[in-house]
């Protein structure tokens, strides 16, 4: 199969992702992003809320699930990194480039993590059979448990703000705030059904499905002084 044919096949298959592309808007309300960082104190002086208008860097790491890594190997699908992303010892890392966040104690509000976390100029690639699918400029909406990305196939832009990964907040541990850093650990990152269908079509396979565990995320946020 020549390059032109592979590209057409990839674009046609992954075009289903275009139906999932939506204009992205943070679900944090105006109060949560109006000024920050702001710490609201509860009984005994314990911090009960941390609201940040402008995140100050840090990174999102995803420790890849070994089952997912093994499955990719069996399917001859090779993962890679784009831009400033890194893959070291089975962990993907993407620099946080901006956004906002509201962090609350578990049980007081739902969801207890809201906002928008941007990762511009980095991403993940998946390659097989001469076709490469790039997912980059990831945006996490923790309140909606969704991760969006810009998708291209063999270098051809397809769609922006595509819902590609489900961030399972049910596995999220209580947020930890220490000094100028907030850490969110334990969120399981899973492939969406739409993304799985599109990748199957792009690579000519039938093995990927929605809900496959990609890995477990640790999000470290700079929350300023």
Q: What is the pLDDT of residues 37-78, one digit of tens each?
A: 333 333 322 345 888 999 999 999 999 999 999 999 999 999
Q: Is the pLDDT of residue 189 over 90?
A: yes
What gap in Å lies between CA 116 and CA 101, rounded to an integer? 6
Using omega within 30 degrees of 0 as the cis cutoff, is the peptide bond preceding 207 cis? no
Nearest to 186 by CA among 102, 86, 63, 71: 63
**82 vs 50, higher pLDDT:** 82
Q: What is the residue whose two structure tokens read 């739902």?
A: 110
What gap in Å lies between CA 42 and CA 189, rounded to an integer? 32
Average pLDDT, the chain: 83
Q: What global pTM score does this model have?
A: 0.82
pLDDT at 113: 93
pLDDT at 44: 28
Q: What is the dihedral of CA 171, 65, 141, 195, to 10 degrees?
A: -130
**Contact residues for 13 (Cβ-Cβ < 8 A; gap 6+):** 198, 199, 200, 201, 202
């Amino acid at each position: 199969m020549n390059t032109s044919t592979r590209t057409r096949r990839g674009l046609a298959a992954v075009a289903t992702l275009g139906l999932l592309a939506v204009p992205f808007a943070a679900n944090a309300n105006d109060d949560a992003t109006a000024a920050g960082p702001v710490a609201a104190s509860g009984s005994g002086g314990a911090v009960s809320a941390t609201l940040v208008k402008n995140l100050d860097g840090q990174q999102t790491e995803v420790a890849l699930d070994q089952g997912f890594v093994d499955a990719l190997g069996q399917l001859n699908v090779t993962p890679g990194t784009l831009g400033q992303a890194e893959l070291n010892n089975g962990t993907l890392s993407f620099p946080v480039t901006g956004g906002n966040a509201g962090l609350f104690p578990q049980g007081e509000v739902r969801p207890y993590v809201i906002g928008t976390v941007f990762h511009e100029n980095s991403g993940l690639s998946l390659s097989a059979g001469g076709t490469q699918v790039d997912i980059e400029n990831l945006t996490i909406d923790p309140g909606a448990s969704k991760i969006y990305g810009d998708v291209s196939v063999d270098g051809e832009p397809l769609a922006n703000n595509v819902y590609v990964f489900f961030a399972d907040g049910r596995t999220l541990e209580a947020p930890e705030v220490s000094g100028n850093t907030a850490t969110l650990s334990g969120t399981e990152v899973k492939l969406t059904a739409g993304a799985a269908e599109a990748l199957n079509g792009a690579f000519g396979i039938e093995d990927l499905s929605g809900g496959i565990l990609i890995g477990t995320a640790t999000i470290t946020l700079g929350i300023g002084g």
